[in-house]
Every structure is written in C-alpha cells, then in structure tokens.
C-alpha cells in the first residue's frame, strides 16, 4: 500500500506541460506525454491508440480527476514501440473496464477498479482505498 500511494501521488503531482483531454478519447491517437482530465474520462466511441513514434522508452501518463470508464469491446492499442509498462492511469475515484475491453497499462485508482466479464489487462490494477473487482479476467504483467 505504501508503494502504491507513492506511485499514485507521483503520477498525480506531475505538472510539466500537461495536455488537456476531456470526455471521450475513443477513436484518438495520442503520442507520449502527460494527459490531464479535470473531470471524468471515457473510451467509448472507438479504440484509443497510443503511438510511441519509435521510442521504446516513451511514457504516457493520464491524470483523471474522477471516474474512468470504457464501454464494451473497446481497446487501448499500442503502436510504434509503445509498451504497456510505460503507460500509467492515475484515477481520482473509480475505474470500470467494460465487457471484453482490451486494456494496456497500470491503473492506479484512489477508490476502486472493476473489470467486467472477460475484460483483459496487460498491466496492473491497483486500488488505494476499496477493492479491485474481477470477473473472468486475464491479466498479464507487462514486460519492461
């Protein structure tokens, strides 16, 4: 728990050149950087692509003030050298991955995380206060 709190606070405290995002980020392609949402965030109308632009050390950090959700069947797609081990989702309250979602990265939620039936995770699901709820979910620890 101590290590999670340190990592969560580190991700939340990042302030250098944040890129504002809001609402639904489905259907977008994002490059490495710090992304900040001041309210809820969703991947709901298409898949999200994270493009490392050939940099195997590229880092993506998402700061989400409140809730984060994906609708059923959505994907986070990694391209051009992007690695799940370098993708971080700092979530201010709750996260829910919809049924059969294919997700990448480390989710750090202040409250709880729910992975709906058959949602897959290449990464980690860590909740500070409540629980991580699973339902037939394959989870793979990402390779460095």
User: How far, CA to CA in Å, does 133 sit from each of 76, 86, 119?
Assistant: 20, 23, 11
In order along its 144 residues, the chain shows pLDDT tens digits of 899 999 999 999 999 999 999 999 999 999 999 999 999 999 999 999 999 999 999 999 999 999 999 999 999 999 999 999 999 999 999 999 999 999 999 999 999 999 999 999 999 999 999 999 999 999 999 988
- What gap in Å lies between CA 2 and CA 32, rounded to an integer? 27
- What gap in Å lies between CA 53 and CA 55, rounded to an integer? 6
**pLDDT at residue 1, rounded to an integer:** 87
């Amino acid at each position: 728990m101590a290590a999670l709190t340190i990592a969560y606070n580190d991700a939340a405290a990042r302030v250098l050149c944040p890129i504002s995002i809001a609402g639904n980020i489905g259907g977008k392609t994002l490059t490495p950087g710090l992304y900040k949402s001041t309210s809820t965030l969703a991947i709901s109308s298409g898949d999200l692509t994270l493009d490392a632009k050939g940099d195997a050390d590229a880092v993506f950090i998402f700061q989400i003030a409140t809730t984060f959700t994906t609708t059923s069947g959505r994907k986070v797609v990694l391209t051009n050298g992007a690695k799940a081990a370098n993708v971080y989702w700092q979530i201010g309250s709750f996260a829910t991955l919809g049924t059969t979602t294919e997700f990448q990265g480390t989710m750090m939620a202040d409250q709880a995380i729910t992975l709906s039936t058959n949602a897959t995770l290449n990464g980690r699901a860590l909740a500070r206060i409540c629980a991580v709820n699973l339902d037939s979910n394959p989870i793979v620890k990402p390779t460095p």
